[in-house]
Amino acid sequence: MIRIVSLAVLAFLSGLGVICLIALSRQEAGAEAAMSAVLAVTVGWAYVGSGLLTWRHGRRRIGSILVFIGLAWFATYLAYSNDSFWFTLGTALEDVYLVGVMYLVLVFPHGRLSGRVDRALMAVGVVLGTVVELAWLVLADSGVVCADCPDNAVRIVSDHAWANGILQAQRGAALVVSVVAVVLFVRRIRLASTPVRRSLAPVLWTGGAFCVAMVVTIVNDVAGEPMGQAPNFMCGLVFAAIPVSILASMLRQRLARGAVAQLVVQLDGGPGGVDLRDALSRALGDPDLAVGYWLASTETYVDSRGRPFDPDDPEKASTLVQRNGRPVAVLVHDKALQDDRALVDSVCAAAGMALENERLRADLEARLVELRASRERLVRAAESERRRLERDLHDGAQQRLIAVAMSIALAEANLRANPVAAGAALDEARDGLARAMDELRTLSQGIRPAVLVERGLGAALAELARRSTVSATVDLRLRAAVPADIETAAYYVASEALTNTAKHAHASGVTIAAETHDGLLRLRVTDDGVGGAEARDGSGLRGLADRVEGFGGTLNIHSPAAGGTSLSVELPCV
The span from the CA of 255 to the CA of 259, in Å, is 8
Ramachandran quadrant class, 35 (left: phi over 0; alpha: psi -120 to 50; beta: rest): alpha
Residue 542's pLDDT is what?
Answer: 72
Among 55-59, 326-330, 363-367, 465-469, top mean pLDDT goes to 465-469
Under CATH, to which class is 451-572 assigned?
A: alpha beta
Q: What is the pLDDT of residues 529-559, one digit of tens each?
A: 888 877 664 456 777 777 787 777 888 888 8
The span from the CA of 292 to the CA of 308, in Å, is 9
Average pLDDT over residues 185-207: 68
Residue 447, pLDDT above cutoff 50: yes
As a three-state string, the secondary structure of 278-325 is: HHHHHHHCCCCCEEEEEECCCCEEECCCCCEECCCCCCCEEEEEEECC
Average pLDDT over residues 370-390: 63
Strand-pair partners of 308? 302
Mean pLDDT estimate for the chain: 77
Our CA dihedral for 529, 532, 535, 541, rounded to 10 degrees, sits at -20
The span from the CA of 550 to the CA of 382, in Å, is 13
Residue 270's pLDDT is what?
Answer: 47
Residue 272's pLDDT is what?
Answer: 45
- Give the domain 2-256 fold: Rhopdopsin 7-helix transmembrane proteins (1.20.1070)
Average pLDDT over residues 17-21: 80
Q: In the chain, pLDDT over 90 holds for what percent of residues?
A: 5
Report which secondary-structure segment, H or E, holds 444.
helix 419-447
Residue 513's pLDDT is what?
Answer: 93
Average pLDDT over residues 226-255: 73
Q: Does the pTM exceed 0.85?
A: no
Residue 515, pLDDT above cutoff 80: yes
Residue 271's pLDDT is what?
Answer: 40
Locate the DSSP E strands across 390-530: 472-477, 510-517, 520-527
The residue extents of the domains of the chain are: 2-256, 276-369, 374-447, 451-572
Residue 524's pLDDT is what?
Answer: 93
DSSP 413-434: HHTTT-HHHHHHHHHHHHHHHH
Round to the nearest angstrom and report the end-to-end CA distance of the chain. Answer: 67
Q: What is the pLDDT of residues 258-273, one digit of tens each?
A: 555 566 556 655 444 5
Average pLDDT over residues 261-287: 65
Residue 159, pLDDT above cutoff 70: yes
Longest dimension (CA), the chain: 151
Residue 142, pLDDT above cutoff 70: no
The span from the CA of 359 to the CA of 10, in Å, is 54
Residue 309 · residue 351 · CB < 8 Å: no
